[in-house]
Amino acid sequence: MKRITQFKTRISLSVLIVLLTIGLSSCYYDYGLATSDYDAILTHWDKNTDFGKYKTFFVLDTVFHLIGENDEDNITRKYDEMILQSIRHNFGAKGYKEMALDTNDFPNKLPDFFVTVSIGKSTYTGGGWYYPPYWGPGWGWYPGYPGYWPGGGYYYNYETGTIFVDFLDKNDIDFGNPDSYVQPKWSGIMEGLVSNESSNSQRILNGIDRMFYQSPVLVAGGETK
């Protein structure tokens, strides 16, 4: 009888240890992330393009706002000029020369490539009551912010802003058909959380710099700068 009691106690102890450990497993280190930690920069380029053959560029002076047909444009234009300046500076630092567009001689005298800038906003809202809120493979990209409360419910509601910078070869553009689609030779995309923080300008500038830093193919005439 004593042996059975002893056996039961040890089994109970083992089960308790397992449960405690599983409970502790939810205790990941809290990294204390700042808003800027949610900034992500993606670049992609045509792998068969020699970016060294391009010499001159022109940045369109309008930032396109990506909104639905009937939606109100509530994207601020506060950062437009700063973004365009930063992009001009970065292409220049890669060895490309900015060229003014001569409207009197259009389209006979064109830069080698055009740069367009677009901005979009997305709102993510959701919630649930399960743990952990994993999003399985096949669902594509899904937000993981702002996290979860282990064993309970979670809720999120946040807005992201995305800046698209596209590098368009002049030979791919059909100037007679403004609605034609052009596959960019290179694209830089920055996405981050929209906030009212004073650090927004710096986050945008850092993000644009990183687009160029992580694009080793963007070198004019084979020069490394």
Partner 1 sequence: MRKLKVLIIAIFTLTATTFATDWSTNFSYNISFGAGNISDYIGRPSWLGFSLDFKGQEKTNLTWGFSFAWNSFYEKTGEIVYFDGDKRDGSLSGTQLRYLNVFPMMVNVGYVFGKYYSEIKPFVSAYIGTSYYSRQTDIGVYRFTNYAWGFTVAPELGLKIPTSRTSNFVISGRWYNTFGVDDSFISDETNRNYVTINIGFDFAY
| Site of interaction with partner 1 (CB under 8 A) | 6-7, 10, 13-14, 17-18, 21, 24-25, 28-29, 31, 33, 36-48, 124, 134-137, 141-145, 158, 160, 191-193, 210, 214-215, 217
Q: Which is nearer to partner 1, 25 or 171 (CB)?
A: 25
Q: Can you say whether the dihedral through the CA atoms of 130, 131, 135, 137 is positive or negative?
A: negative
Is omega for the bond preceding 216 within 30 degrees of 0, making it cis?
A: no
Comparison of 44 and 77: residue with beta carbon closer to partner 1 = 44
Nearer to partner 1, 17 or 82 (CB): 17
Supply the minimum distance, in Å, between the C-beta of residue 187 and partner 1: 9
Minimal distance, residue 17 CB to partner 1, in Å: 5
Cα separation, 65 vs 56, in Å, equals: 26
DSSP tag of 60: E
d(C-alpha 199, C-alpha 50), whole Å: 36
Q: How far is the CB of 214 from partner 1 (least distance, A)?
A: 4
Q: Measured from the CB atom, is 58 or 148 closer to partner 1?
A: 148
Greatest CA separation for the chain: 104
Is the Cβ of residue 75 or residue 110 nearer to partner 1 in the bound state? 75
Residue 9 φ then ψ, to 5° = -60, -45
Q: Measured from the CB of residue 62, what is the shortest distance to partner 1 in angstroms?
A: 26
Q: Calculate Rg over the CA atoms of the chain.
A: 26
